[in-house]
Homo-oligomer: A and B are copies of this chain.
Amino acid sequence: MRNFDEITITNAVIERLSGASDARIADISASLIRHLHAFVREVRPTIEEWEKGIAFLTDTGRMCSDTRQEFVLLSDTLGVSMLVDAINHGAGEGVTESTVLGPFYVESPPEKAPGEDISAGIEGEPLIVTGSVHAPDGTPIKGATVDVWHSDGDGYYDVQHLEETGGLAMRARFSTDGEGKFRFWTIKPAAYPIPHDGPVGAMLEKQGRHPWRPAHVHFMISADGYQKLVTHVFAEGDQYLDSDVVFGVKDSLVREFVAKPPGPAPDGLLRNSPFFHLHYDFGLHAS
């Protein structure tokens, strides 16, 4: 076929999918083509605007590295990540809500023993995190894998300045004990702007948006027989809870980082300076 106009080209492209052997690929492709063409027909870009769009996608790809995922940031800031999350993780009785993975997860983080300090000597306000993992009916889950990661008190992750931290820090993998519990020491995370020195940061500025996320600790929890949970626990009182740049906040995920005076900590340690305490009990969906 030839001589397509701005209406007939859409079905012409979709008809080319008739030879696809995978029906799911064909369905996703047809839907993408239909919605992408509808967007283009609505916006009616000039050639120069189309070129800018191509350049934006190219720059976004070039920004990606082992420690930077600019397309995840784009998905996060356009609300796509939380939309995909909502589609895949309906809430349920006794089950913790999920939120975005974010761009800072590192596969196979260092395994640590219960109660270890994971801050690797980075300065900050001491924080003890305690929690548990349970089934929807409250039964403790023993041996669940609990991956945690968070920013420092200036809002930076280890991978954003590895040359200074000298390696991974403020991230670890724990295993729940016989009562489904885990605990660790670290430092209190801070609110932070997502990395905004790239194309996504430029986009946010042009859209008149700030790049900030409220302070939080990331959790990825998995256990045999249960669905993997990817979530955060956010700090109550943070000024960005209602304007999180990635739309990730849910009320059920907000907890107070409780300020504690010097004295005994929840794990029995005697602290001679103030510290904070965060506690969360996580419920997993049966798989």
Contact = CB atoms under 8 A, between A and B. Distances in A.
19 contacts: A2-B249, A2-B251, A4-B82, A6-B83, A9-B86, A10-B79, A16-B209, A17-B208, A21-B208, A25-B206, A31-B43, A32-B78, A35-B35, A36-B39, A40-B87, A57-B71, A58-B64, A58-B69, A62-B64
Interface string A159-191: 000000000000000000000000000000000
Contact of A206 (B22, B36, B208, B242): B22
Interface of A: 1-6, 9-10, 12-13, 16-22, 25-29, 31-33, 35-47, 49-50, 54, 57-62, 64, 69, 71-72, 75, 78-84, 86-88, 206-209, 241-244, 247, 249-251
Please give me the 3 A-B residue pairs with the lowest Cβ-Cβ distance, nearest first: A61-B61, A19-B208, A13-B79
A229 to B, nearest CB: 12
Contact of A39 (B31, B50, B62, B71): B31
Chain A interface, DSSP helix/strand/loop, else mixed: helix
Contacts of A86: 4-6, 9
